[in-house]
């Protein structure tokens, strides 16, 4: 039975400055490239942050053999659950790793340098950490699982191998767990925010995209646009392949994507807030209505 008690409109406060602090904190570890010191340190940081809001935080450790480096990558998905006894669940996710190669940098001599990932990595995580703070103030009306995927950005451009390592591992081991839907936040911190509907999300989970954009309309989220613009092979795809509705909130019009210039000064607290408010609105309003 779904418990619909409580005020449908009690969307908790989203503190954009605190969210931005989470973004900066992650960047201060340096690039979070698998097997690097920054990656190890940030993993501990994220575990501690999630433990501050959830009594159930799991580390899902796995390895991936990187043929190029001839080495095993030590990877970890972090999973925090809220309202654990509620069987009706929504999964919110972001990737926390950053790209080892800035292969879209205009300066080709820097293509082998890692990406700091203020937007591509830290922003989605920052939004979800701040959303989790809201759960302390106003318990969510359904069960929520927040998952930070590792190894999203390890693929070679032009191929489909090496990407989405964390979400692929998670879905391969998903067992009987079936969230009602999945909302992915990726590159949501650009100060010049442009969120267009993503093609795979629209084709395979159109009702969920409509639900999110309806929430965006009610939040007056002026940087959510109704057009479909990009097709993105992102962490929502393994869920769609399982038949689990999933939508990708992503700003692919980010000038510093996969460059060494993906730094916190390109991002803004207001952008984190806009996306955070929309996701919260989906959970507290539409999540309930969508159950029926
Ligand atoms: Zn990326």
pLDDT of 31 strictly over 90:
yes
- 62 versus 66: which is more confidently predicted? 62
Q: Which of 130, 245, 249 has the alpha carbon at shortest distance from 186?
A: 249
Run of H or E residues at 211 = helix 206-218
Q: Calculate how far, in angstroms, residue 95's C-alpha sits from the geometric centre of ligand 1.
A: 9
Neighbours of 37 (CB within 10 A): 12
In terms of C-beta density within 10 A (0-12 exposed, 13-18 middle, 19 or more buried), how is residue 281 classed?
buried
Six-digit token string for 139: 């318990």
Pairing of strands 143-149, 89-95: parallel
Average pLDDT over residues 285-291: 60
Cα–Cα distance measured from residue 199 to residue 211, given in angstroms and rounded to the nearest whole number: 15
pLDDT of 240 strictly over 90:
yes
Q: Calculate how far, in angstroms, residue 163's C-alpha sits from the geometric centre of ligand 1.
A: 9
What residues does each domain of the chain span? 8-291
Q: Calculate how far, in angstroms, residue 160's C-alpha sits from the geometric centre of ligand 1.
A: 13
Q: Calculate how far, in angstroms, residue 162's C-alpha sits from the geometric centre of ligand 1.
A: 12
pLDDT digits (tens, 9 = 90+) for 34-48: 999 999 999 999 999
Position of tokens 């995580």? 125
φ and ψ at 12, to 5 degrees?
-70, 160
- Architecture per CATH, domain 8-291, reads as 3-Layer(aba) Sandwich (3.40)
Chain mean position to CA 45: 17
Q: Calculate how far, in angstroms, residue 67's C-alpha sits from the geometric centre of ligand 1.
A: 20
Which residues have CB under 8 Å from 5's CB, separation 6+? Answer: none
pLDDT digits (tens, 9 = 90+) for 195-208: 999 999 999 999 99
Six-digit token string for 267: 């991002």
Q: Calculate how far, in angstroms, residue 180's C-alpha sits from the geometric centre of ligand 1.
A: 26
């Amino acid at each position: 039975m779904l418990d619909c008690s409580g005020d449908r409109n009690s969307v908790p406060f989203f503190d954009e400055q605190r969210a931005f602090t989470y973004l900066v904190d992650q960047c201060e570890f340096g690039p979070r490239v698998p097997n690097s010191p920054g990656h190890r340190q940030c993993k501990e940081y994220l575990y501690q942050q999630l433990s501050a809001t959830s009594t159930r935080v799991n580390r899902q450790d796995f390895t991936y053999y990187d043929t190029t480096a001839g080495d095993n990558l030590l990877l970890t998905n972090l999973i925090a659950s809220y309202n654990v006894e509620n069987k009706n669940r929504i999964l919110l996710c972001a990737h926390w790793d950053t790209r080892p190669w800035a292969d879209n940098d205009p300066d080709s001599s820097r293509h082998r340098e890692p990406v700091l990932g203020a937007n591509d990595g830290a922003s989605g995580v920052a939004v979800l950490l701040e959303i989790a703070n809201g759960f302390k103030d106003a318990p969510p009306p359904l069960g929520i699982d927040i998952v930070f995927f590792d190894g999203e950005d390890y693929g070679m451009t032009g191929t489909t191998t090496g990407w989405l390592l964390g979400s692929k591992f998670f879905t391969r081991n998903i067992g009987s767990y079936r969230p009602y839907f999945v909302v992915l936040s990726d590159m949501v911190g650009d100060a010049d925010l442009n969120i267009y509907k993503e093609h795979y999300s629209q084709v395979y989970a159109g009702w969920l995209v409509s639900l999110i954009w309806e929430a965006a309309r009610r939040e007056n989220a002026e940087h959510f646009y109704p057009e479909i613009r990009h097709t993105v092979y992102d962490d929502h795809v393994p869920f769609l392949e399982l038949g689990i509705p999933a939508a990708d909130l992503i700003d692919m019009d980010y000038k510093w994507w996969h460059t060494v210039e993906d730094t916190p000064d390109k991002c803004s607290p207001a952008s984190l807030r806009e996306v955070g408010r929309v996701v919260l609105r989906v959970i507290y309003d539409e999540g309930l209505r969508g159950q029926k």
